[in-house]
Amino acid sequence: MFLRITMLTAATAALVTAGTATAPAANGGWQRAGDDITSGISGLARTGPSDGATHALIVRDNKKPGENRVAALTFRSGRSASATVEPLVWSGAREPVDLEAIEAVPGTSDEYVALASRGLVYHLRTTGRTGSTAEVLDVSPLPAIADGDDYESFALASRGGKLAAVWADRGAGKSRPSTLRAAPFSFNEYGEADFGPVTTARYRAPYPAGEVRHVSDISVTAKGRLLISSASDPGDDGPFDSAVTHAGEVAVGARSGKVRLSVAKSPDVLRKFKGHKIEALECVPGSRTALLGTDDENAGGYVKSAALCGN
C-alpha cells in the first residue's frame, strides 16, 4: 500500500481514524505518519543534513507482497509541525517479511543496514535521482540466533573508524527478558555483513509492565550511552504504553575494535509515553535530540522528537 500523508496541524491529525481503533490525537509533538496497520514505523534512520526539517528512512513490518517496506520521512516540529512520507521502491531481492529496524552506515551517505524480525540483515543502498529506490546489496543472517528470538532493534556505534553492532531479542513479559548482543561489525569486499565475537547481556525493562517488549529499539550516542525503548502491546487496538531508558554503555576500542557492553542494574527511565507503541529510536548526532517513531497497529504510526540523548 503506497501512501503520501502530510499532517499540518494537530487538529487535522485528530480527525483520522483507522478500522475500529481510535487514533490518538497528535498532541505532545506527535505527528501522524501513517493511518492504518500497514503504515506504522518499526524502525528509523536519520538521513542527510537538516534544512529546517528532519529527514529519515523508515521501515515497516509489512508481510504481504506489494505492501510498502521502506519510505522517506520528512518531519518538522514546532508550530508548523508536519510529517510527510514517500514510499521507496524495493529492489534487488525478494521483499522482506517483517522489517523491524534500520540504521545508517557511518561514513556513507546512502548505505543502511535493515533487520527483519527473524534475524536477516539487509545491506541497502538508496539509488535513483531522488533516492527513491532501496537497492539490496546483500542479505545475511545475524550471528548467535537462539530459539524463539524475535528481533526489533539494531544500532551501530563507531569510534576511530571501528564499528560495533548492537541488537536484541525483544523479550516477552515476565517470562522472557531480552537478550542484548554486541559485536565488532564490518562489511567484506562483497558487501556482506561481517560480525566479530559476540558479547551478551540480559535486560528487563523497568517500565512498562504487562505484555511488554523489553527492547523495541536501540540507539547508541557518540559517547557510548545505550538508550533502549520498551513498549507494551496487548493487541492491535492497544492501549499502548512505552518508555525510553538510559540502559547502559557501549564501548568500542579505537585501535582494537573490541566491544564492551554493560547494562545498568537499575536502568534510568528517561521518559514515559502513554498511548503509543514506540518501535523506532534514533539519537541525532551532536545533539540531545531523539527521534521517536511508533507502530500503533490499527491506529497507524506517529513521529516526534524529544530531548533524551544527553551529551
Q: What is the pLDDT of residues 104-153, one digit of tens each?
A: 999 999 999 999 999 999 999 999 877 899 999 999 999 999 999 999 99
Contact 113, 105 (CB under 8 A): yes
The three-class DSSP label of residue 80 is: helix
Smallest CA-to-CA distance from 298 within 229, 238, 208 is with 238
Residue 14 in this model has a pLDDT that exceeds 50:
no
pLDDT mean over 44-58: 87
Smallest CA-to-CA distance from 203 within 162, 137, 161, 250 is with 250
pLDDT of 311 reads 57
Contact 101, 152 (CB under 8 A): yes
pLDDT of 89 reads 97
Residue 17 in this model has a pLDDT that exceeds 60:
no
Where residue 55 falls among pLDDT bands split at 50, 70, 90? very high
Residue 7 in this model has a pLDDT that exceeds 90:
no
Cα separation, 239 vs 254, in Å, equals: 44
Contact 120, 43 (CB under 8 A): no
Residue 1 in this model has a pLDDT that exceeds 60:
no
Computed over every residue of the chain, the mean pLDDT equals 90
Residue 29 in this model has a pLDDT that exceeds 70:
yes
Q: What domains can you pick out in the chain, each with its CATH number?
A: 30-296 (2.115.10)
Which one has a higher pLDDT value, 129 or 59? 59
Cα separation, 227 vs 185, in Å, equals: 19
How far does CA 230 lie from the centroid of its chain? 12
Residue 11 in this model has a pLDDT that exceeds 90:
no
According to DSSP H, which parts of 44-157 are helical? none
Where residue 13 falls among pLDDT bands split at 50, 70, 90? very low
pLDDT mean over 287-310: 95
Residue 264 in this model has a pLDDT that exceeds 50:
yes
Where residue 156 falls among pLDDT bands split at 50, 70, 90? very high
Where residue 8 falls among pLDDT bands split at 50, 70, 90? very low
Looking at the chain, the whole-number percentage of residues with pLDDT higher than 70 is: 91
Q: Kindly state the helix (H) or strand (E) to which residue 167 belongs, with its residue range.
A: strand 162-169
Which one has a higher pLDDT value, 11 or 245? 245
Percent helix, strand, coil in the chain (nearest 5)? Answer: 5, 50, 45
14 secondary structure, DSSP code: H
Asked, as a colleague might, if the bond just before 239 is cis with ω within 30 of 0, I would say: yes
